[in-house]
Chain A
């Protein structure tokens, strides 16, 4: 084996070397001399001068943070009314996308106009709420956002999004289906994200926000016409 590199000598000081490197060091006088120099240098590194904190410091910190503490978030604490729009949307989408499409004869009582209206309203509401979530993510300062809340909302939107996408596919609305497909991937990323968004992910969210805004405004216009 070759003599230890400068990097291996430094890592050897911290004990972060493999067994074969350690064996070489144990048996090579030249490397031992180099390692001894490295040891002298690193042992001689001064301590950082850290300002002292007194015995009451913990109590002082508590006094500062206590007013800022909220109750730990729990999903079940959310009032049922906050879930009402999502539930209504799910019912509407499930009704049109699932049950009715498989039993088309029974749906003949609905006019095409009424069905389109319900779907447009549902889609519009879904895109509105997606827009809010995406905008919050884009505008959040690093570290300032409670990602648990965003993940929960992204999860709710994800379920709804899947059903809407299926409905769009079945109705032959390819552009809506493509948008929802893209949105689904972004929502999936957010719902699985551990703590924050990377730069490329943030760019993706920004791009998605722009597209959602455009489609949403088109849908609002259609709704008004209907």
Chain B
């Protein structure tokens, strides 16, 4: 059946699983893209896709149709991924293998940035792209979420603030800090690759 998102959501809310299936089939790929951007890991992204749709199904009664269904769904996906990042961070901290936020990350950041890679070689081999994920992993969960949603997904600051549960000023600052950290790691290659 050819439902719009709103119609399908309304039918799914009444218990029509076919309607929900239409939504899953329509939005799975974009949810996967968002989840992968946020987690940087294929298996985690797969898990997040499932978790997102399961949560969405349970919370369908809270979807009031004021925003687009996709916006509402991506917010859930972003929240699921943020929960995962936080849980992952906690596990790492408990096992004592991860650096914490802020200056303590300097060592890791410097480790990546310090070998002063040859710009020409980087430009040729596309290492800039390869350096991106390790660099993103050095961001705090909040910074990564804010940056991915703003830079890659094009969400506005208000939406990002809602996902993070902070005010707009704090969301803006998270975007800035993310760019600042990425610059420290990537700029040697970033600037010369232009």
List residues of A whose CB falls within 8 A of some B CB: 6-7, 10-11, 14, 16, 40-42, 44-51, 53, 57-62, 64-66, 68-69, 71-73, 142-143, 146, 148
Contact = CB atoms under 8 A, between A and B. Distances in A.
Contacts of A61: 24-25, 28, 49-50, 53
Q: Which 6 A-B pairs have the closest CB atoms?
A: A58-B25, A46-B129, A58-B28, A61-B28, A7-B176, A62-B24
A50 B33 contact: yes
A47 B129 contact: yes
Given A45-B151, A48-B36, A142-B83, A148 B173 contact: no
Nearest to B177: A7
Contacts of B37: 48, 50
Nearest to B83: A143
B33 A69 contact: no
Contacts of B187: 41
B99 to A, nearest CB: 22
Given A10-B176, A46-B129, A58-B24, A41 B190 contact: yes
Contact of B133 (A14, A48, A72): A48
B172 A59 contact: no
Interface in B15-36: 15, 17, 20-21, 24-29, 32-33, 36
Could you say which of A16, A40, A66 has the most chain B C-beta atoms within 10 Å of its C-beta?
Answer: A16
Contact of B21 (A11, A57, A62, A142): A62
B194 A40 contact: yes
Interface in B176-194: 176, 179-180, 182-183, 186-187, 190-191, 193-194
A53 B29 CA distance: 7
Given A7-B173, A10-B179, A57-B28, A46 B132 contact: yes
A72 B13 contact: yes
26 contacts: A7-B172, A10-B176, A10-B180, A11-B172, A14-B175, A40-B194, A41-B183, A42-B151, A42-B179, A45-B186, A47-B152, A48-B36, A48-B40, A48-B136, A58-B25, A61-B25, A61-B50, A61-B53, A64-B50, A65-B57, A68-B50, A69-B17, A72-B12, A142-B87, A143-B51, A148-B59
